[in-house]
Amino acid sequence: AQSVAQPEDQVNVAEGNPLTVKCTYSVSGNPYLFWYVQYPNRGLQFLLKYITGDNLVKGSYGFEAEFNKSQTSFHLKKPSALVSDSALYFCAVRDDSNYQLIWGAGTKLIIKP
């Protein structure tokens, strides 16, 4: 069965430091992986996706994510965090045998000045 795990409910990072938000997945076919961000009282905004090819994917607002097939992970990263990055981040996966998008529970990212 398909599943997504975001092992950290909350991640705290000081402004200017690098950040990582973790995501691991389980699918039966080839994975398509997505990251979304949700600011307070807002809908979900698409950040980036992995389809195929280069394992390092670059997205909006300076975020990137690294696909690791052997570890079945797709961690979200940013070299230097901003206070405005504070939000809720969701990882999602879909495989090519099932169009249903499976969502993680979300990770709250707090960037402290």
Partner 1 sequence: EAGVVQSPRYKIIEKKQPVAFWCNPISGHNTLYWYRQNLGQGPELLIRYENEEAVDDSQLPKDRFSAERLKGVDSTLKIQPAELGDSAVYLCASSLASGRPNTEAFFGQGTRLTVV
CB closer to partner 1, 22 vs 32: 32
Q: How far is the CB of 84 from partner 1 (least distance, A)?
A: 18
The CA distance from 62 to 52, in Å, is: 20
CB closer to partner 1, 10 vs 17: 10
The CA distance from 97 to 68, in Å, is: 20
Which residues contribute to the site for partner 1 (CB under 8 A)?
32, 34, 36, 41-46, 49, 51, 90, 92, 94-96, 99-101, 103-106
Q: How far is the CB of 63 from partner 1 (least distance, A)?
A: 14
In contact, 108 and 8? CB cutoff 8 Å = no
Is the Cα torsion angle 62, 22, 93, 69 positive or negative in sign?
positive
Q: How far is the CB of 16 from partner 1 (least distance, A)?
A: 28
Residue 49's DSSP bridge partners are 34
CB closer to partner 1, 50 vs 111: 50
The token pair at 103 is 């969502």
In contact, 21 and 81? CB cutoff 8 Å = no
CB closer to partner 1, 14 vs 110: 110
Q: How far is the CB of 17 from partner 1 (least distance, A)?
A: 25
